[in-house]
Copies of this chain bind each other. A is one copy, B any other.
Amino acid sequence: MYQAVTQFSKMLRNLDNWIVKAEAHAKTKNFDPETLVQARLAPDMYPLVKQVQSACDSAKFSAAYMTGKEAPSHADTETTLEQIHARIHAVLAHLETYTEKDFEGWADRKVSPKWLAGKWMRGDVYLFQAGIPNFYFHVTTAYDILRHNGVDVGKMDFMGNVPTQG
């Protein structure tokens, strides 16, 4: 399931690009781009910064749980767009350290994140029912926050390049 992780990386690079576009949008409209760091869709939803942190965590923990490796710790102290970019880049660099071989036996691996309090699930159940939906929840909501604030991103920016043949 190495390709699930390369896809997380691709989406994190896309996310990084949406924020670059958001900064350009703020410049054009002459507003402070840093206001977007705390932008949210509802008062009881996470703001952009926390959506990005959560997407980053979901990607790194999915990779760690499917391989039995240790995920690096990040303190969630980002308060600026520059720091948000740096967080994404740090997780991307970490995900680069994985190889296809690391994922051997991923589906049958016992995954036991802290929030399961001692219980566990199979690697494939974790990936499809927790890792992937959680990752896309946060990355899509980050996108939706930017779109709701008028940033000129579209569906192709969301998806990124999908390689075709023929």
Chain A residues in the interface with B (C-beta under 8 A): 3-4, 7, 10-11, 41-42, 45, 112, 116, 118-122, 124-125, 128-130, 132-134, 136-137, 140-141, 143-144, 147-148, 150, 155, 158-160, 162-166
Q: Enumerate chain B residues within 8 angstroms of A112, measured Cβ to Cβ.
A: 166
Contact B132 A164 (CB under 8 A): no
Name the CB-closest residue of B to A146: B42
**Also in contact, A155 and B140, with CB within 8 A (given A147-B41, A147-B45, A148-B41):** no
Q: How far is the CB of A72 from chain B (nearest CB, A)?
A: 24
Return the contact of A120 from the options B10, B147, B159, B164 (Cβ within 8 A).
B164
Copies of this chain present = 2
Binding site secondary structure of chain A: helix
| CB pairs A–B below 8 angstroms (14 shown) | A7-B133, A10-B129, A11-B133, A42-B148, A42-B150, A45-B147, A112-B166, A119-B164, A121-B163, A129-B159, A129-B160, A133-B159, A136-B137, A140-B141
20 extra interface residue pairs, beta carbon distance < 8 Å, beyond A133-B136, A137-B143, A140-B141: A4-B128, A10-B129, A41-B147, A41-B148, A45-B147, A112-B166, A116-B164, A119-B164, A120-B164, A120-B166, A121-B163, A121-B164, A125-B163, A129-B162, A130-B159, A134-B159, A137-B155, A137-B158, A137-B159, A141-B144
Q: Enumerate chain B residues within 8 angstroms of A148, measured Cβ to Cβ.
A: 41-42, 148
Name the CB-closest residue of B to A124: B3
Q: How far is the CB of A128 from chain B (nearest CB, A)?
A: 5
Q: How far is the CB of A87 from chain B (nearest CB, A)?
A: 21
